[in-house]
Structure 1
Amino acid sequence: MRKVLVITYYWPPAGGPGVQRWLKFVKYLRDFGVEPVLYIPENPHYPLLDESFLQDIPDDLKIYKHSVKEPYRIAAILSSKKTKRISSGIIQTKNQSFLEKTLLWIRGNLFIPDARKFWVKPSVIFLKGVLEKEGIDTIITTGPPHSVHLIGYYLKKSISLKWIADFRDPWTTIGYHKKLKLTSSAEKKHKQLEFDVLNTADKIIVTSNTTKQEFQQLTNKPIKVITNGFDGDIAASDNLDSKFTIAHIGSLLSGRNPRNLWKVLSDLVNENIDFKNAMQLRFIGVVSEEILASIAEFGLQDFIEIVGYVSHQEALAYQKSSQVLILVEIDSQDTIGIIPGKLFEYMAAKRPILGVGPRNWEVAGIIDETETGRIFDYADDIALKNVLLNWFQDFQKGELQISSGSIEQYSRRELTRKLVEYI
């Protein structure tokens, strides 16, 4: 069986979406004749933990580890709350304290490409021995953090091997990049590193067509789109909420603030007593203070239920029991190619998806193809209101459902098949 070394920062017990992509690939690689070998940090700083992911690790999986020095541990002495928020990707855009502005400047300008950069050189030295010992000639790096790609870059430069770089998110065009208070020199360094990685890797994997088109402007190397997906059965729940729950699963960052949705919900609450009595806004995961302030501005604070972070298994249960699932992306041209991993689990839950995102958002095509919901931009009020009202009327009749057609192509096992064909 052919061996492949997978180099990733996020691995169980890490929680959140970043860990799931390669955990699921590794889970199914052996089914297609590939034996994965893992390389992960020995002492990582994970903002979120989820022990339930441990059950998906294949038996007898060989895992190599090496320690990593992370500045987040030092910064946490100054402010553990702000440090955890920044390392989770939650960047407040308003009312930033001097400390938070300072931490952001340091993060963006001194730790390039990111705060895990100190793991690169020790890993390159360590992995040369591992590759020789295991007889491995193919490696896969996955980012963010994009410093992981630099491990592949330096290994490729020093020894003969095949390197595949997997980008779960873009690099210099990702939403939070512009919030890092980068100097022109730092911005140039980021772009140069991105260019170097894209033009040194043998093959590239991305999660969206938009990112593929973006990278094709920078390199002639082969690029394959392999999206994220869902694992498990496609099945509707027999235990739907009795209230008209409109739920968001996962972190809701400051930039993802669909004010038109809050306005429409406020209007419906004020105009329709049945809607008012039935509606509930449920948030599973971290919600930024700016989002909560906007919801309160529209008088919806009494309809909020904040559950907080839960295990992945619990999140799946909430998805299946909710009446409507919210999917939100930042309103920016830079985010039209961002396809949240939760989209595919939403589809498998067979509940209507209500999306608000940038105009020409790539997610809209997937939603239309699978007939799993509706997508709106941030300026859309009337159509959004009509859809919500129609869904509420179907809810009242006990008929709120969707078809979830043709979504098997997004199962984790099928996506692993595509991965093996590519590598």
Structure 2
Amino acid sequence: MRKVLIIAYPFSRNVIGAVRLRGLAKYLSELSWEPTILTVKSSQNLKFPYRIIEAEADGLLIQWKKKIDKLSGSENNSNINVQQTKSRKSNFDFLLKMGGQFFAYPDLQKYWYEPAVDQGSKLLEKEDFDAIISSSSPVTSHLVANELKKRFKIPWIADFRDLWTQNPYYHYNFLRKFFEQRLEIKTLKNADILTTTTTCFADELKSLHGREDVFPILNGFDPDQTIKNTILSDKLNLTYSGLLYRGKRDPKLLFKALEELDSEKSIELSKFSIDFYSPVENWLMNEVEEYHLENVVNVHGMIPREEVLKKQRESQILLLLSWNNPQEQGIIPGKIYEYLDAGRPILSIGPSEGLVKDLIQSTNTGIHLSGYESVKKVLKMFYDEFEERGKIEYGGIPEEIDKYSQREMAKKFTILLDKIVE
């Protein structure tokens, strides 16, 4: 069995960025590749059926907080009142915001670089590995892989769950982007192959780096985690899980349509339940009040992923919100793979065209909408179906959905791994 070192900062933490990497490690093991994971030390003490090498390092935010606490004397002063605490927190938040623009280069995890290179070098000095895969974000993972490849001449695949400087959510100024893009190009010259999560991302990487060996490998769901025989909600509930962004991933269109349908007496609003497993945001609660949906919308906060998956399977409809912007057309959010596995209809609201729409249509797993009138019309259609049948029927095509499993994802990585070690 061949051996691959996977460099993945978030692997041992329960965050969305770890889902692709854990699935890759799990199913590579079935395909004659033995994974070892180089990751940051975690306090969550999770157990995995493969070797984990942890490199401990504070992130940039922790480093700054320690320095500020030391300078302010708060480390050893227990006689600090509430007002002082609020003031220091406010000052600290301001410093983080301003300093992040200049010092979080290339990312907040920059202090992980040296411990990770050190741990990786110790491992590779003792054992032979056939390949390296690094995955970002954070991009520090690629810097670590680049250094290890230079030292040990091991073939390297650089995987991008999100783009680096081409990311549509990149928020730094043009001067920083200029220097960071030079760093990106210099770093990835040494990679044998680049992979990313969509065809659009692959095209962008090809253009920036002037190379053709860039391959799209989509994310996937874990077929072994599928929960069967769940009981559906007795309400017409729409479930959303994950982060929301005002004006981007924003349910305002949905809220407006529900309020208008209610005012027209086209629906009985009490039959609906809109459930968000998302952080409680002031702007979100203000929108709920604006559209008089306090008795319909429930914001539960974030809950463990296992519970989220269960809630998804119990839902009549799964809600997917995307930014209605051309930049969003080439993005497939990781959430949609959970939704495919849940086996419930998807109501997607976002740009009129794009990869999300194509995926939903090819799998027949739901409806993708863009405009207000279409959202209103479909909500009424769901309401009528629920009144007649007591549930929303699901028409997903199993053979199409199976194409998006983590097992299929790992097979595509295996093809590339075999290619670079031949």
Into which bin does the TM-score normalised by the smaller protein fall?
0.7 to 0.9
Unmatched tracts of structure 2, length 5 or more: 70-89, 418-422
Q: Find the aligned partners of 2:314 and 2:265 in 1 and give their Cα distance.
A: 24
Q: CA deviation at 1:210?
A: 1.1
Secondary structure at the aligned position of 2:169 is classed as: helix
- Find the counterpart in structure 2 of residue 32 from structure 1: 31
Summarize deviations over 1:325-374 as a string: whole Å, max 9, x none.
11112233332222111101212212111112234231111001001111
How many equivalent pairs are there?
390
Q: Hey, what does 1:63 align to over in structure 2?
A: 52
C-alpha displacement at 1:159, in angstroms? 3.2
Counterpart Cα distance in 1 of 2:379 and 2:151: 57
Tell me the amino acid that sits aligned with residue 2 of structure 1: R
Residues 101 and 176 from structure 1, CA distance in 2 versus in 1: closer, same or farther, beyond 3 angstroms? farther
Percent sequence identity over matched residues? Answer: 30
**Cα drift, residue 228 of structure 1:** 1.2
Find the residue that maps to 2:275 and give its secondary structure: strand
**Is the 1:38–1:64 contact (alpha carbons within 8 Å) kept by the matching residues of 2?**
yes
The aligned residue for residue 404 of structure 1 is 396
Structure 1 residue 101, shift from structure 2 partner: 5.3
Task: Tell me how far apart the structure 2 counterparts of residues 200 and 279 of structure 1 sit (CA, whole Å).
Answer: 54
- 2:294 counterpart (287, 298, 301): 301
Contact in 2 for aligned 1:139/1:152 (Cα 8 Å): yes
Distance 2:285 2:324 in 1: 18
CA contact (8 A) 1:166 1:206 kept: yes
TM-score by length of 1: 0.85
SS of 1:164 mapped into structure 2: strand
Structure 2 equivalent of residue 263 of structure 1:
256
- Counterpart in 2 of 1:195? 185
Matches within 5 A, 1:74-89: 74=63
- Using the TM superposition, give the Cα deviation of residue 245 of structure 1 relative to its aligned residue in structure 2, in angstroms: 0.8
Hey, what's the Cα distance between the residues in 2 that align with 1:27 and 1:247?
28
**Cα pair 2:28 2:414 within 8 Å, conserved:** yes
Would the aligned equivalents of 2:267 and 2:380 in 1 still touch at CA under 8 Å?
Answer: no
Q: CA deviation at 1:98?
A: 7.5
Match of 2:375 in 1: 384
Does residue 1:363 correspond to 2:335, yes or no? no
1:99 Cα offset (Å): 5.8
Q: Residue 295 of structure 2 aligns to a residue in which SS? A: helix
The question of 1:252 aligning with 2:244 is answered yes
Q: Aligned to 1:172, what secondary structure does the other structure show?
A: coil
Secondary structure of 1:125's match?
Answer: helix
Residue 113 (structure 1) aligned with residue 113 (structure 2):
no
The equivalences for 1:12-31 within 5 A come to: 12=12, 14-31=13-30
Provide the residue aligned with 2:61 in structure 1.
72
Superposition map of 1:311-330 within 5 A:
311-330=304-323
Over residues 392-423 of structure 1, what are the superposed CA-to-partner deviations in whole Å (9 max), with x where a residue is unaligned? Answer: 21112235122211101111112212211121
String of CA shifts for 1:287-316, please: whole Å, max 9, x gaps: 433233223222223322122222222111
**3-state SS of paired residue (1:240):** coil
Matches of 2:130 and 2:118, distance apart in 1: 16
Q: CA 1:162–1:287 in 2, change beyond 3 Å: closer, same or farther?
A: farther
DSSP-derived class of the 1:40 partner: strand
| Residue 138, structure 1, aligned to residue 131, structure 2 | yes
| Aligned-partner Cα distance in 2 for 1:168–1:311 | 22
Give the whole-Å Cα distance in 2 for the aligned partners of 1:238 and 1:134.
46
Deviation at 1:117, TM superposition (A): 0.8
The answer for the alignment partner of 1:83 in structure 2 is none
> Does the CA contact (< 8 Å) of 2:266 and 2:380 recur in 1?
no
For residues 227-269 of structure 1, the C-alpha deviation after alignment (integer angstroms, 9 at most, x for no partner) is 1111136676541111111110112233311422221122123
Aligned to 2:411: 417
The code of the aligned residue for 1:372 comes to T
Cα shift at 1:272? 3.3
The SS at the match of 1:282 is strand
Task: Report the Cα distance in structure 2 between the residues aligned to 1:336 and 1:410, rounded to whole angstroms.
Answer: 19
Contact 2:60 2:110 in 1 (8 A): no
**3-state SS of 1:290 partner:** helix
For the pair 1:211 / 2:201, whether they are aligned, the reply is yes
Q: Please tell me whether residue 222 in structure 1 is matched to residue 245 in structure 2.
A: no
Unaligned runs of 5+ in 1: 80-96
**Aligned equivalents of 2:271 and 2:365: distance in 1?**
23
Letter in 2 for 1:69: D
User: Is residue 137–residue 160 contact of structure 1 (8 Å, CA) maintained in 2?
Assistant: no
Check whether the contact 2:124–2:152 (CA below 8 A) recurs between aligned residues: no
> Among residues 163, 173, 180, which one is paired with 1:170 in the alignment?
163
- Structure 2 counterpart of 1:352, one-letter code: P
Deviations 1:79-98 (A, max 9, x none): 9xxxxxxxxxxxxxxxxx77
